[in-house]
């Protein structure tokens, strides 16, 4: 079975803090994705990576950056957290662009 793990299930941070969310997959997938999920807005793609050190912006990249130094690990960085970044963050990996496999999610609250 594909296993995608995320570093935290719940996280509370203060406005202005730098926040790191980590995602690890164990299936040697090339592609990894970061989404945020908000009520009424569905799943929105923040960034994705199709290879080590390669990244592309998704639909809502503003306020976020990513890092992929190793194939199995994809990090999402909030450079200066703001309250409007309170959300559920979901990581996914895929052997190709489709059939994405999701992690359990991190519920981030920024106060």
Partner 1 sequence: GQQLNQSPQSMFIQEGEDVSMNCTSSSIFNTWLWYKQDPGEGPVLLIALYKAGELTSNGRLTAQFGITRKDSFLNISASIPSDVGIYFCAGHMSSNYKLTFGKGTLLTVNP
Give the phi and the psi of residue 65 in degrees, each rounded to 5: -140, 170
Cβ burial 7-33 (10 Å sphere, 16+ → b, else e):
eeeebebeeeeebebbbbbeeebebbb
Minimum separation from the CB atom of position 16 to partner 1 (A): 27
Single out the residue of 11, 43, 60, 77 in contact with partner 1 (rule: CB under 8 A).
Answer: 43
Single out the residue of 7, 13, 22, 50 in contact with partner 1 (rule: CB under 8 A).
Answer: 50
CA angle, 84 as apex, 46 and 88 as ends, to 5°? 55
DSSP helix, strand, coil percent of the chain (3-state; round to 5): 5, 60, 40
Positions 3 through 42 that interact with partner 1 (CB under 8 A):
4, 31, 40, 42
Interface with partner 1, residue 53, by CB under 8 A: no
Interface with partner 1, residue 69, by CB under 8 A: no
Interface with partner 1, residue 95, by CB under 8 A: no
The site for partner 1 (CB under 8 A) is made up of: 4, 31, 40, 42-43, 45, 48, 50, 56, 58-59, 90, 92, 94, 96-105, 107
């Amino acid at each position: 079975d594909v296993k995608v793990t995320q570093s935290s299930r719940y996280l509370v941070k203060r406005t202005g803090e730098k926040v790191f969310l980590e995602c690890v997959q164990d299936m040697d997938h090339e592609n990894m994705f970061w989404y945020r999920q908000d009520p009424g807005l569905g799943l929105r793609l923040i960034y994705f990576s199709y290879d080590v050190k390669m990244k592309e912006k998704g639909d809502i990249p503003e306020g976020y950056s990513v890092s992929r130094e190793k194939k199995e690990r994809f990090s999402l960085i909030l450079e200066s957290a703001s309250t409007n970044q309170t959300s559920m963050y979901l990581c996914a990996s895929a052997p190709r662009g489709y059939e994405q496999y999701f992690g359990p999610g991190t519920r981030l609250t920024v106060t």
